Structure 1
Amino acid sequence: MQMRSVLGLLLFALLCSGCFNVREPEKPDAVSEWTPPTQPSILTDNFTKAVRTLNIAVYSRCFTPGFRFKADPATAGANTALFENWTAAEERDYFNSLKNKSATNALNLLDLTKTRENFFRADSLEQFFSYKLRTSHTDTTLKPHDFTGTMRLVLTRKNNEWLIAKWEDNRENQACWSDLKKHFIAR
């Protein structure tokens, strides 16, 4: 009986030996980089970090379901059908395409400088930024990697969180964000 107990214990120990192995920690969930945007500046930080790290989950969360993008007039003029109904779905598709055409662990550089802010009501405001974006894409059919311009964001607050409801883009003498979106939405 004693021998049977010892064999049973050994068998149990062998079966459970894998239960206590040390494993590599899992990568943090992409959404864990999201900070609840209870202030407009937190939303801007979420947006900037998502663009820099090409984090689609966080990027997508920055926009309202009814989001609209208005492209730079020069870019939109030649592509009216492309930009006339640009919603959060197109925004996500463009960003996903940009990520797929970027090196693994690539980082973009984004510098946003707020130039003005106007509150409409306690739950909506507009912010104006000048931006400089340097992308790390590997698509050889698009020469520029640097995009500059100004953007007007209309933010709304729902359930105490700020989100981007509207984005208007304008160029400053060279390629702008609208040009980047035009290129990567078609890919």
Structure 2
Amino acid sequence: MNLLTIILISCDIFTTRSPEVPDRPSSNFLAATSPEILFNNFKSSIEEKVVENYIACFVDTSYLKKKYNFIPAVGSTALYPILNNWSINEEKQYFLNLVSKLQQGKNIELKLTNTQKNIFGDSAIYYFDYELIINSNNQLIGGTFKGTAQFKIFSDNREQWSIVEWQDIKKENYLCWSDLKGRTSY
């Protein structure tokens, strides 16, 4: 046998190997060419805990010259002053902190119900009643958060929809999303 044959046989380079398990959960993220896709992406990015996909749901000033604005629930800024000047950076840090505080195997479930929408061509306002259930023993983040979210969304120059403004509205005596953001932002 010649040397090349021996090397090829011993290296076993033509045998297929087992596929590697991905580092991240699978993702259902699609280009948000409709408001419905945008909110499906928003929901799945939270439930799958994929920070990059979560942030991709918000306005990117490279494609739309609008600044992101989060309007916390009434009274929340007194408890959590960080909510006063909330930007994309705080949005990302909050979600990174939330995901990092979840124990292995714990999940997040988001229910969006009672949808109301007003569409104005390249912009729209969507209202959802939400129930955010965080399965965690961590008292800061574990539990159920309820409220109403008002989203102002716009289509950018790629013809993709993104969240430009998010207003959180507290519901009765429940903790709301503003409480969760305030608790996890430090």
Q: TM-score, normalised by structure 2?
A: 0.85
Matches within 5 A, 1:119-158: 119=119, 121-140=120-139, 142=140, 144-158=142-156
Matches within 5 A, 1:56-67: 56-65=51-60, 66-67=67-68
Query: Matches of 1:28 and 1:87 in 2, distance apart?
Result: 29
Structure 2 gap segments, 5+ residues each:
61-66
Query: Matches of 1:164 and 1:87 in 2, distance apart?
Result: 12
Query: Matches of 2:118 and 2:48 in 1, distance apart?
Result: 29
Question: Structure 1 pair 78/25, CA: closer, same or farther in 2 (3 Å)?
Answer: closer
In structure 2, the partner of 1:110 is 110
Query: Matches of 1:30 and 1:123 in 2, distance apart?
Result: 32
Give identity over the alignment, percent.
Answer: 25
Question: Structure 1 pair 71/31, CA: closer, same or farther in 2 (3 Å)?
Answer: farther
Aligned-pair CA distance for 1:7: 3.6
> Which structure has the greater CA radius of gyration?
1
Aligned-pair CA distance for 1:28: 7.4
Structure 1 gap segments, 5+ residues each:
1-5
Query: Matches of 1:98 and 1:149 in 2, distance apart?
Result: 19
Aligned-pair CA distance for 1:116: 1.7
CA RMSD after TM alignment: 2.1
Query: Matches of 1:34 and 1:27 in 2, distance apart?
Result: 16
Task: Please give the secondary structure, in 2, of the residue aligned with 1:73.
Answer: coil
Question: Structure 1 pair 28/42, CA: closer, same or farther in 2 (3 Å)?
Answer: farther
Matches within 5 A, 1:13-92: 13-14=8-9, 16-18=11-13, 20-27=15-22, 33-65=28-60, 66-80=67-81, 82-92=82-92
Query: Matches of 1:103 and 1:10 in 2, distance apart?
Result: 51
Determine if contact 2:80/2:183 at 8 Å carries over to the other structure: no
Question: Structure 1 pair 16/57, CA: closer, same or farther in 2 (3 Å)?
Answer: same
- Deviation string 1:76-121 (CA, Å, 9 cap, x unpaired) is 23334x12221111111101100001122432111101432112x3
Query: Matches of 1:37 and 1:143 in 2, distance apart?
Result: 29
More helix per residue: 1 or 2?
Answer: 1
Letter in 2 for 1:146: T
Query: Matches of 1:115 and 1:49 in 2, distance apart?
Result: 17
1:161 aligns with 2:160: yes
